[in-house]
Amino acid sequence: MPQQSNTMGISTLKAGLGNSNQGFQRNYLWEVKLPTMIGTTNVGDTSSIEKLINHVQFGNYAFAVNKLVVGPYSSGQIGLLAVPMFFMKFLVPSPNILEDYLSVWKNLMVSKDGLFSVKSQYQASIYCHFISTNGQLTGQYKMTGCFPTQFPYYVSSYSNGKVTEVQVTFNCDKVEYTDLS
Q: Tens digit of pLDDT for each residue in 21-79? A: 456 666 678 899 999 999 889 998 999 999 999 999 888 777 778 888 888 988 888 87
pTM attached to this predicted model? 0.77
Average pLDDT over residues 95-103: 93
Residue 141 confidence (pLDDT): 93
Q: Which amino acid is at 45?
A: D
Residue 9 confidence (pLDDT): 52
CA 31 to chain centre: 11
Residue 149 confidence (pLDDT) above 60: yes
The domain segmentation of the chain, as residue ranges, is 26-179
Q: What is the mean pLDDT of the chain?
A: 84
> Which residues contact residue 105 at a Cβ distance below 8 angstroms, ignoring those fewer than 6 apart?
38, 43, 122, 147, 148
CATH class of the domain at 26-179: mainly beta
CA angle 52, 87, 180 (to 5 degrees): 80
Q: 77 forms bridges with which residues in the sheet?
A: 66
Average pLDDT over residues 157-181: 89
Residue 146 confidence (pLDDT) above 50: yes
